[in-house]
Chain A
Amino acid sequence: MDDHQLIRQFKESGDKRAFEKILTRYESRIFHFGFRRCGHVQDAEDVVQETFVSAYRYLKDFREESSLLSWLLRIASSVCIKKRRRRKDEPRNHESFDALHERGGEDAIAQTGEPSASDLMLRQEMTRVVREIMAELPSAVSTMIELRDIEGLSTREVADTLGISETAAKVRLHRARAALYKRFTEVYHDDTTR
Protein backbone atom coordinates (compact mmCIF):
# COMPACT_ATOMS: atom_id res chain seq x y z
CA MET A 1 0.00 0.00 0.00
CA ASP A 2 1.27 3.45 -0.79
CA ASP A 3 1.36 6.29 1.71
CA HIS A 4 -1.93 7.78 0.54
CA GLN A 5 -3.74 4.50 1.02
CA LEU A 6 -2.31 4.04 4.50
CA ILE A 7 -3.23 7.60 5.45
CA ARG A 8 -6.75 7.11 4.17
CA GLN A 9 -7.08 3.81 6.00
CA PHE A 10 -5.92 5.42 9.24
CA LYS A 11 -8.19 8.43 8.82
CA GLU A 12 -11.29 6.42 7.92
CA SER A 13 -11.12 3.83 10.67
CA GLY A 14 -8.25 4.75 12.98
CA ASP A 15 -6.62 1.53 11.84
CA LYS A 16 -3.48 1.21 13.94
CA ARG A 17 -2.06 -1.36 11.57
CA ALA A 18 -1.96 1.35 8.90
CA PHE A 19 0.01 3.61 11.22
CA GLU A 20 2.31 0.75 12.15
CA LYS A 21 3.10 0.31 8.46
CA ILE A 22 3.88 4.03 8.19
CA LEU A 23 6.08 3.79 11.26
CA THR A 24 7.97 0.78 9.91
CA ARG A 25 8.38 2.48 6.56
CA TYR A 26 9.90 5.70 7.89
CA GLU A 27 11.28 5.18 11.40
CA SER A 28 14.81 4.35 10.24
CA ARG A 29 14.92 7.28 7.90
CA ILE A 30 13.78 9.68 10.60
CA PHE A 31 16.27 8.09 13.00
CA HIS A 32 19.18 8.64 10.61
CA PHE A 33 17.99 12.17 9.92
CA GLY A 34 17.87 12.83 13.65
CA PHE A 35 21.26 11.24 14.19
CA ARG A 36 22.87 13.38 11.50
CA ARG A 37 21.25 16.52 12.88
CA CYS A 38 21.86 15.85 16.56
CA GLY A 39 24.90 13.56 16.56
CA HIS A 40 23.68 11.37 19.43
CA VAL A 41 21.82 8.07 19.36
CA GLN A 42 19.72 9.03 22.38
CA ASP A 43 18.71 12.32 20.81
CA ALA A 44 17.98 10.59 17.51
CA GLU A 45 15.70 8.11 19.31
CA ASP A 46 13.97 11.01 21.01
CA VAL A 47 13.49 12.62 17.60
CA VAL A 48 11.90 9.43 16.30
CA GLN A 49 9.63 9.11 19.31
CA GLU A 50 8.51 12.73 19.32
CA THR A 51 8.03 12.75 15.56
CA PHE A 52 5.79 9.70 15.49
CA VAL A 53 3.87 10.59 18.63
CA SER A 54 3.03 13.90 16.93
CA ALA A 55 2.31 12.15 13.68
CA TYR A 56 -0.04 9.73 15.37
CA ARG A 57 -1.86 12.59 17.02
CA TYR A 58 -2.17 14.80 13.95
CA LEU A 59 -2.25 12.41 10.99
CA LYS A 60 -6.03 12.63 10.93
CA ASP A 61 -5.65 16.35 10.11
CA PHE A 62 -2.90 15.91 7.51
CA ARG A 63 -4.23 17.24 4.22
CA GLU A 64 -1.55 15.66 2.00
CA GLU A 65 -0.60 18.99 0.49
CA SER A 66 2.95 17.66 0.73
CA SER A 67 4.25 14.12 0.74
CA LEU A 68 4.05 12.14 3.96
CA LEU A 69 7.84 12.07 4.15
CA SER A 70 8.04 15.86 3.83
CA TRP A 71 5.52 16.18 6.62
CA LEU A 72 7.40 13.78 8.89
CA LEU A 73 10.68 15.52 8.17
CA ARG A 74 9.08 18.86 8.99
CA ILE A 75 8.09 17.53 12.39
CA ALA A 76 11.50 15.92 12.89
CA SER A 77 13.30 19.13 11.88
CA SER A 78 11.39 21.06 14.50
CA VAL A 79 12.26 18.47 17.15
CA CYS A 80 15.92 18.53 16.13
CA ILE A 81 16.09 22.30 16.37
CA LYS A 82 14.82 22.15 19.94
CA LYS A 83 17.28 19.37 20.77
CA ARG A 84 20.22 21.26 19.36
CA ARG A 85 19.32 24.35 21.31
CA ARG A 86 19.30 22.36 24.51
CA ARG A 87 22.40 20.31 23.79
CA LYS A 88 25.60 22.16 24.69
CA ASP A 89 28.28 22.44 22.02
CA GLU A 90 30.87 19.74 22.26
CA PRO A 91 34.38 20.12 20.93
CA ARG A 92 34.86 18.62 17.53
CA ASN A 93 38.16 17.46 16.23
CA HIS A 94 39.13 17.95 12.63
CA GLU A 95 42.14 16.30 11.13
CA SER A 96 44.71 18.94 10.34
CA PHE A 97 45.16 20.04 6.78
CA ASP A 98 48.77 18.97 6.86
CA ALA A 99 47.82 15.44 7.83
CA LEU A 100 45.18 15.36 5.13
CA HIS A 101 47.57 16.84 2.57
CA GLU A 102 50.04 14.08 3.30
CA ARG A 103 47.32 11.68 2.26
CA GLY A 104 46.79 13.51 -1.02
CA GLY A 105 43.82 15.53 0.20
CA GLU A 106 44.06 18.32 -2.34
CA ASP A 107 44.32 15.98 -5.29
CA ALA A 108 41.56 13.74 -3.99
CA ILE A 109 39.10 16.63 -3.99
CA ALA A 110 39.46 17.18 -7.72
CA GLN A 111 39.96 13.55 -8.62
CA THR A 112 37.39 11.97 -10.85
CA GLY A 113 39.08 8.73 -11.80
CA GLU A 114 38.63 5.29 -10.29
CA PRO A 115 39.15 5.70 -6.54
CA SER A 116 41.86 3.76 -4.83
CA ALA A 117 41.40 2.38 -1.32
CA SER A 118 43.16 5.42 0.13
CA ASP A 119 40.93 7.73 -1.92
CA LEU A 120 37.87 6.01 -0.55
CA MET A 121 39.19 6.41 2.98
CA LEU A 122 39.85 10.03 2.27
CA ARG A 123 36.35 10.58 0.96
CA GLN A 124 34.95 8.89 4.05
CA GLU A 125 37.05 11.19 6.20
CA MET A 126 35.87 14.24 4.28
CA THR A 127 32.28 13.06 4.51
CA ARG A 128 32.73 12.77 8.25
CA VAL A 129 34.06 16.32 8.35
CA VAL A 130 31.12 17.53 6.28
CA ARG A 131 28.78 15.95 8.82
CA GLU A 132 30.59 17.66 11.67
CA ILE A 133 30.50 21.01 9.93
CA MET A 134 26.80 20.52 9.25
CA ALA A 135 26.26 19.99 12.96
CA GLU A 136 28.01 23.30 13.68
CA LEU A 137 26.18 25.39 11.12
CA PRO A 138 22.99 27.21 12.11
CA SER A 139 19.98 24.93 11.83
CA ALA A 140 18.35 27.04 9.14
CA VAL A 141 21.45 26.59 7.01
CA SER A 142 22.19 22.94 7.59
CA THR A 143 18.56 21.91 7.25
CA MET A 144 18.53 23.05 3.62
CA ILE A 145 21.53 20.91 2.73
CA GLU A 146 20.27 18.04 4.85
CA LEU A 147 16.94 17.90 3.08
CA ARG A 148 18.10 18.60 -0.48
CA ASP A 149 21.51 16.98 -0.75
CA ILE A 150 21.55 14.34 1.97
CA GLU A 151 17.92 13.24 2.09
CA GLY A 152 17.67 13.76 -1.67
CA LEU A 153 14.37 15.61 -1.64
CA SER A 154 13.50 17.70 -4.67
CA THR A 155 13.44 21.45 -4.25
CA ARG A 156 9.64 21.26 -4.34
CA GLU A 157 9.65 18.74 -1.50
CA VAL A 158 12.10 20.81 0.50
CA ALA A 159 9.83 23.83 0.07
CA ASP A 160 6.84 21.75 1.20
CA THR A 161 8.73 20.43 4.22
CA LEU A 162 9.70 23.90 5.33
CA GLY A 163 6.47 25.64 4.36
CA ILE A 164 8.19 28.09 2.01
CA SER A 165 8.02 28.84 -1.70
CA GLU A 166 10.13 26.89 -4.14
CA THR A 167 11.96 30.06 -5.10
CA ALA A 168 12.80 30.76 -1.48
CA ALA A 169 13.98 27.18 -1.07
CA LYS A 170 16.37 27.53 -4.01
CA VAL A 171 17.81 30.80 -2.72
CA ARG A 172 18.27 29.41 0.78
CA LEU A 173 19.85 26.23 -0.55
CA HIS A 174 22.44 28.08 -2.60
CA ARG A 175 23.24 30.35 0.33
CA ALA A 176 23.56 27.31 2.58
CA ARG A 177 25.96 25.58 0.24
CA ALA A 178 28.06 28.74 0.03
CA ALA A 179 28.21 28.79 3.83
CA LEU A 180 29.17 25.12 3.93
CA TYR A 181 31.87 25.69 1.34
CA LYS A 182 33.27 28.61 3.32
CA ARG A 183 33.43 26.58 6.51
CA PHE A 184 34.80 23.51 4.76
CA THR A 185 37.65 25.47 3.20
CA GLU A 186 38.34 27.19 6.53
CA VAL A 187 38.75 23.78 8.10
CA TYR A 188 41.19 22.69 5.43
CA HIS A 189 42.71 26.14 4.85
CA ASP A 190 42.15 25.82 1.11
CA ASP A 191 44.48 28.35 -0.53
CA THR A 192 42.10 28.92 -3.44
CA THR A 193 39.86 31.00 -1.21
CA ARG A 194 42.56 33.47 -0.27
Chain B
Amino acid sequence: MMTRRADKLTAAQCADLLMRVSAYLDGDLEECCCRELEEYLSSHPECAQRCETMRELIGLCRNADDESHAPSLRPEFRAKLRRILELDAPQNG
Protein backbone atom coordinates (compact mmCIF):
# COMPACT_ATOMS: atom_id res chain seq x y z
CA MET B 1 0.00 0.00 0.00
CA MET B 2 2.54 2.60 1.06
CA THR B 3 5.68 0.55 0.87
CA ARG B 4 7.35 2.36 -1.96
CA ARG B 5 9.63 5.11 -0.82
CA ALA B 6 8.87 8.02 -3.13
CA ASP B 7 9.90 11.64 -2.89
CA LYS B 8 7.04 12.78 -5.12
CA LEU B 9 3.52 11.49 -5.05
CA THR B 10 1.21 11.30 -8.00
CA ALA B 11 -2.04 13.23 -7.68
CA ALA B 12 -3.91 9.99 -6.98
CA GLN B 13 -1.39 8.92 -4.34
CA CYS B 14 -1.56 12.34 -2.73
CA ALA B 15 -5.35 12.22 -2.60
CA ASP B 16 -5.22 8.73 -1.12
CA LEU B 17 -2.70 9.83 1.48
CA LEU B 18 -4.78 12.84 2.44
CA MET B 19 -7.86 10.67 2.88
CA ARG B 20 -5.92 8.29 5.10
CA VAL B 21 -4.55 11.19 7.11
CA SER B 22 -8.05 12.59 7.55
CA ALA B 23 -9.30 9.19 8.72
CA TYR B 24 -6.27 8.83 11.00
CA LEU B 25 -6.87 12.22 12.61
CA ASP B 26 -10.50 11.27 13.25
CA GLY B 27 -9.60 7.89 14.69
CA ASP B 28 -11.33 6.13 11.80
CA LEU B 29 -8.29 4.20 10.61
CA GLU B 30 -7.77 0.60 11.70
CA GLU B 31 -4.90 0.07 14.09
CA CYS B 32 -2.70 -1.82 11.62
CA CYS B 33 -3.21 0.97 9.08
CA CYS B 34 -2.41 3.58 11.73
CA ARG B 35 0.94 1.94 12.41
CA GLU B 36 1.68 1.69 8.71
CA LEU B 37 0.81 5.34 8.20
CA GLU B 38 2.88 6.45 11.18
CA GLU B 39 5.87 4.50 9.92
CA TYR B 40 5.42 5.98 6.48
CA LEU B 41 5.17 9.54 7.79
CA SER B 42 8.22 9.09 9.97
CA SER B 43 10.32 8.39 6.89
CA HIS B 44 8.65 10.88 4.55
CA PRO B 45 8.95 14.35 6.07
CA GLU B 46 7.13 16.09 3.23
CA CYS B 47 4.15 13.83 3.73
CA ALA B 48 4.41 14.34 7.49
CA GLN B 49 4.10 18.06 6.80
CA ARG B 50 0.99 17.37 4.72
CA CYS B 51 -0.42 15.57 7.74
CA GLU B 52 0.26 18.56 9.98
CA THR B 53 -1.22 20.93 7.44
CA MET B 54 -4.35 18.77 7.28
CA ARG B 55 -4.54 18.80 11.06
CA GLU B 56 -4.32 22.58 11.09
CA LEU B 57 -6.86 22.87 8.31
CA ILE B 58 -9.38 20.77 10.25
CA GLY B 59 -8.66 23.01 13.24
CA LEU B 60 -9.40 26.08 11.14
CA CYS B 61 -12.70 24.55 10.06
CA ARG B 62 -13.62 23.86 13.66
CA ASN B 63 -12.90 27.46 14.53
CA ALA B 64 -14.96 28.65 11.59
CA ASP B 65 -18.11 28.35 13.68
CA ASP B 66 -16.94 31.34 15.71
CA GLU B 67 -19.87 33.63 15.10
CA SER B 68 -18.49 36.66 16.95
CA HIS B 69 -17.72 38.34 13.63
CA ALA B 70 -20.75 37.02 11.77
CA PRO B 71 -23.97 38.95 11.30
CA SER B 72 -26.82 38.20 13.67
CA LEU B 73 -30.42 37.53 12.95
CA ARG B 74 -32.18 40.85 12.62
CA PRO B 75 -34.95 41.40 15.16
CA GLU B 76 -37.21 42.59 12.33
CA PHE B 77 -36.66 39.31 10.51
CA ARG B 78 -37.37 37.26 13.62
CA ALA B 79 -40.63 39.15 14.10
CA LYS B 80 -41.55 38.72 10.44
CA LEU B 81 -40.91 34.98 10.59
CA ARG B 82 -43.17 34.63 13.57
CA ARG B 83 -45.90 36.58 11.82
CA ILE B 84 -45.60 34.23 8.85
CA LEU B 85 -45.87 31.23 11.16
CA GLU B 86 -48.57 32.93 13.25
CA LEU B 87 -46.53 32.61 16.42
CA ASP B 88 -46.09 34.94 19.35
CA ALA B 89 -43.59 37.78 19.07
CA PRO B 90 -40.00 36.69 19.75
CA GLN B 91 -38.51 36.90 23.21
CA ASN B 92 -35.55 39.25 23.44
CA GLY B 93 -32.11 37.62 23.60
> Nearest chain-A residue to B50 (Cβ)?
A192
- Bound CA–CA A44/B84 (angstroms): 17
Stretch at the interface among A63-71, A73-81, A87-95, A180-188: A180-188
> What number of A-B contacts does a CB cutoff of 8 Å give?
123
The number of residues on chain A lying at the interface, defined by a beta carbon within 8 Å of a beta carbon of chain B, is: 50
Q: Are A130 and B61 in contact (CB under 8 A)?
A: yes
Contact residue among A20, A49, A52, A175 (Cβ-Cβ distance under 8 Å from B88): A20
Query: Quick one: which of A153-187 are within 8 Å of B by CB?
Result: 155, 170, 173-175, 177-178, 180-182, 184-185
Interface presence of B57 (CB below 8 A): yes
CB-CB under 8 A for A126 and B60, given A24-B91, A177-B18, A177-B22: yes
B81 close to A123 (CB less than 8 A):
no
Q: Determine the interface band of chain B, counting residues with CB < 8 A from chain A.
A: 35 or more
- Assess whether B33 is interfacial by the CB under 8 Å rule: no
The 8 Å CB contact of B56, one of A36, A110, A150, A155, is A110
Is the pair A180, B67 in contact by a Cβ cutoff of 8 Å? no
In angstroms, Cα B12 to Cα A82, docked, is 31
- In whole angstroms, what is the CA distance A49 to B72 when docked? 15
Beta-carbon nearest neighbor of A31 in chain B: B73
Q: B42 interface residue, CB < 8 Å from A?
A: no
Give CA–CA (A171, B81) in the complex, Å. Answer: 38
- Report yes or no: A32 in contact with B65, Cβ–Cβ below 8 A: yes
Looking at chain B's contact residues, the main secondary structure is helix
When distances are taken between beta carbons in the complex, the residues of chain A under 8 Å from B77 are 45, 48
Cross-chain contact of A178 among B18, B26, B63 (Cβ < 8 A): B18
Which residues of the other chain, A, contact B28 by a CB distance below 8 angstroms?
Answer: 155, 170, 174
- Closest CB in chain B relative to A179 CB, distance in Å: 8
A140 at the A/B interface (Cβ < 8 Å)?
A: no
B70 adjacent to A35 (CB under 8 Å): yes
Instruction: Judge whether B81 and A170 touch: CB under 8 Å.
Output: no
Q: A16-B88, A194-B8 provided; 20 other pairs, C-beta below 8 A?
A: A16-B87, A19-B85, A28-B73, A31-B73, A49-B81, A53-B84, A109-B53, A127-B64, A130-B57, A134-B64, A149-B61, A149-B64, A150-B64, A150-B65, A151-B65, A155-B28, A174-B23, A177-B19, A178-B15, A182-B15
Where the two chains meet, the residues of B that have a C-beta atom closer than 8 Å to any C-beta of A are 8, 14-15, 18-20, 22-23, 26, 28, 46, 49-50, 52-54, 56-58, 60-67, 69-74, 77-78, 81-82, 84-88, 90-91
